[in-house]
Chains A and B, each alone.
Chain A
Amino acid sequence: MIDRAQVLHVARLARLDLTDEEVGTMSRELSAVLDHIEKIGELDLDDVPATSHVVDVVNALRPDEPLPSLPREQALANAPEVVDDGFGVPSPGAS
């Protein structure tokens, strides 16, 4: 069960503006999905190691050798706002 207040908290963490209606739908749908998912709580997993990778690779390292960077025009080509050769953003303000 995930209530409206939790939905709003999570939406804030995820930087998603939800309409009032979406908050309600989200609460209902996520609760249903979590209900199903929570069945894994029944499993005894105490001594089981967690798997975060299925590949058995370690030390995939890169030599410290420079590679060409993007020309600035290309780096900025998709930017919604360019200011002084940089990526313009609204001020962080008092948020």
Chain B
Amino acid sequence: MSAAYEPVIGLEIHVQLSTRTKMFCGCELSFGDPPNVHTCPVCLGLPGALPVVNARAIHYAVMVGMALGCELAPRSIFHRKNYFYPDLPKGYQISQYDIPICSGGRLGDVRIHRAHLEEDAAKLVHVGASGRIHGADASVVDYNRGGTPLVEIVTEPDVRSAAQAREWLTLLRTTLRQLGVSDVNMEEGSLRCDANVSIRPVGSDVLGTKTELKNMNSFRFLERGVEAEIARQIAIVEGGGEVVQETLHYDPVSGSISSLRSKEEAHDYRYFPEPDLVPVVLTDEMIAAAKAELPELPAQRAERYESELGLSADSARLLAFRSELGAYFEAALKADGDSPQALANWISGELVARIGDEDPARTKVSPAAIAKLVGLVRGKQVTQGAAKQVLDRLVADGGDPEAIVEAEGLGAIGGGDELAEIVKRALESDPSAVEKLKGGNMKAIGPIVGFVMRETKGRADGGEVNRLVREQLGL
């Protein structure tokens, strides 16, 4: 990316709430069921049907607002957003407009502009030879999804890179998962993200023309899409052109960005207060009930790891922003709380390197086992290298680290004669290295240590080997 430009990114996230029933009717939420089996007069928009607000959707929205540090509207109302599309059965979407339930707030380093409640559209499947929107003969509407409660979260334009967008969305997802208000599954569409992207010369505080990048359905695509859009805008500006305000679609397969032609030449949603619904006024009971259900949230947890456990900021975030890692870490800490930072490093570094995105609680490595392993390393009973081998075994088969060390003969070879003897043989085997060491080139110690590690299968302590080499050469 050109160093002369700074991207300015704001995100709009649609979160499907995991209530049992839809926003305005008693039909059950579903995913993957046969079409049109979860509909009723209300969510089909039949003449005469009326919406009624789902109390739990309000409850969840209040929890989201609290988690994001938003101001909660004491009285909020619903509006109708009018436009025609087959996935919108009433010809309007019930949403919130000038009085959203949550406004302001912050999560991590990004400010929240607002969060409001609305209903999801149905699913429109384009059928026909090509399967693409253009050129398809007909389309089919499935109203199962229509009316699913959504919270739309809009951030301020505080994000400055594609990577930050991805990292922040991860934090948001973890926060929402902790809250238990959504499945937050991007592939299944329960978490959807649009990005408003613009660029400006570094140092400028004027906002450039923004484009809206729609519906990136994975974290990777979000990062790549935003990356591609930033590059596209820089190329336009550097080529002397101007960025046009438009809605764009990122195709993850080709990596290309294309313009979504507007469905209606000029959007005029004719918002007006929904006359079929009455205001939502948050009572003390409603606020207390939401507060009572708030778990410790990732940002708070990271803060606690830093201040109470003395973890580095990076470690704290690595563990706290993935709630399952944090939970695992805390379980391990219960088994052995002597060295939180070392435990944190082993979990977020070595263990994650081996298990990837899997929940560690579901692997064969019990929290107590990894705590014990870290304890063995700390007590120098096992070297770092050997411990990694033990961890390999734990990941593969589970078990007790001490027993593995015993069985495999992975115990550290401490000081004493055995290690001194091996060091001696190493020096004898490599006279040229010995020459260099004596000449003051300490880099030459590498091959010697390598020899010892091979001989001891990694059970030797690097520091001890170093000391013995110096001792035997009289350095």
Direct contact of A and B (CB under 8 A): yes
- Chain A positions within 8 Å of B, measured between CB atoms, are 13, 15, 52-53, 55, 57-70, 72, 75-76, 83-95
Which residues from A are CB-within-8-Å of B355?
A: none
**Given A53-B278, A59-B278: A64 in contact with B39 (beta carbons within 8 A):** no
Contact B54 A84 (CB under 8 A): no
Report which of B54, B138, B281 forms a contact with A89, defined as CB distance below 8 A: B138
- Beta-carbon contact of A90 and B138 below 8 Å: yes
Question: B26 touching A67 by the CB < 8 A rule?
Answer: yes
Q: How far is the CA of A53 from the CA of B75 in the complex (A)?
A: 14
- Contact residues in A for B27 (Cβ distance below 8 Å): 66-67, 69
Q: Is the CB of B140 within 8 A of A87?
A: yes
B138 touches A62 (CB 8 A): no
A66-B26 contact, Cβ under 8 Å, with A59-B280, A85-B34: yes
Partner of A70, one of B40, B124, B140, B275: B40
A58:B280 contact, CB within 8 angstroms: yes
Residue in B closest to A95 when the chains form the complex, CB atoms: B263
How far, in Å, is B30 (CB) from chain A's closest CB? 10
Q: Are A72 and B36 in contact (CB under 8 A)?
A: yes
Q: List 5 A-B contacts (CB under 8 A).
A: A63-B56, A83-B127, A87-B86, A87-B140, A91-B136
In the assembly, what is the distance between CA of A58 and CA of B320, in Å?
Answer: 39
The answer to whether B39 touches A75 (Cβ under 8 A) is yes
* B275-A84 in contact (CB<8A): no
Binding site for A on B (CB under 8 A): 19-21, 25-28, 34-41, 44, 52-58, 75, 77, 84-86, 124-128, 133-134, 136-143, 261, 263-264, 268, 270, 272-273, 275, 277-281, 283
**B54→A83 contact, CB < 8 A:** no
CB pair B263–A84 under 8 Å, yes or no, is no
Whether B39 pairs with A89 at a CB distance below 8 angstroms is: no
Of B39, B134, B142, B270, which is within 8 A of A13 by CB?
B270
Known: A52-B275, A69-B37. A83 touches B58 (CB 8 A): no
Asked if A62 and B26 make an inter-chain contact with CB atoms under 8 angstroms apart, the answer reads yes
Interface class of chain A by DSSP: loop
In the bound complex, do residue B133 and residue A91 qualify as a contact, i.e. CB atoms below 8 Å apart?
A: yes
A60, B36: Cβ atoms closer than 8 Å: no
Note all chain A residues with C-beta closer than 8 A to B20.
64-66
- Taking a contact as CB atoms under 8 Å apart, the answer to whether A86 and B21 are in contact is no
When the two chains form their complex, are residues B21 and A91 in contact, meaning their CB atoms are under 8 A apart?
no
Give Cα A68 to B125, complex, Å: 25
Given A67-B21, A86-B142, A59 contacting B281 (CB threshold 8 A): yes
- Cα A91 to Cα B85 with chains together (Å): 11
| B53 touching A86, Cβ below 8 Å | no
Inter-chain contact A59/B86, CB cutoff 8 Å: no
List A contacts of B85 (CB < 8 A).
92
* Shortest beta-carbon distance from A62 to chain B in Å: 4
- Chain A min CB distance to B62 (Å): 12
State how many angstroms separate the Cβ of B39 from the closest Cβ of chain A. Answer: 5
- Which residues in A have their C-beta under 8 angstroms from that of B273? 52
Are A62 and B127 interface neighbours, CB within 8 A? no
Chain A residues whose CB sits within 8 angstroms of the CB of B275 once the complex forms:
52-53
What is the CA–CA distance of A64 and B264 in the complex, to the nearest angstrom? 36
Question: A67–B278 contact, CB under 8 A?
Answer: no
Are A84 and B141 within 8 A (Cβ)?
no
Query: Chain B contacts of A59 at CB under 8 A?
Result: 278-281, 283
Say yes or no: A65 contacts B26, CB within 8 Å. yes
Min Cβ gap A67→B in Å is 3
- A89-B139, A91-B139, A94-B134 known; A67+B54 contact, CB < 8 A: no
Closest Cβ of chain A to B403, distance in Å, is 50
**How far apart are the CA atoms of A84 and B34 in the complex, in Å?**
10
Q: Is the beta-carbon distance between B25 and A67 smaller than 8 angstroms?
A: yes
Looking across the interface, which residue of chain B has its beta carbon closest to that of A89? B86
Question: Which residues on the A side are within 8 Å of B86 (C-beta)?
Answer: 87, 89, 92
Q: A52-B275, A89-B138, A95-B263 are in contact. Are A64 and B281 (CB under 8 A)?
A: no
Contacting residues, chain B, for A87 (C-beta < 8 A)? 36, 86, 140-141, 143
CB contacts (< 8 Å) of B279 on chain A: these are 58-59
Q: Which residues of A contact B261 (CB under 8 A)?
A: 94
Residue of A nearest to B282 (CB): A59
Closest to B286 in A: A59
Q: Is the CB of A84 within 8 A of B21?
A: no
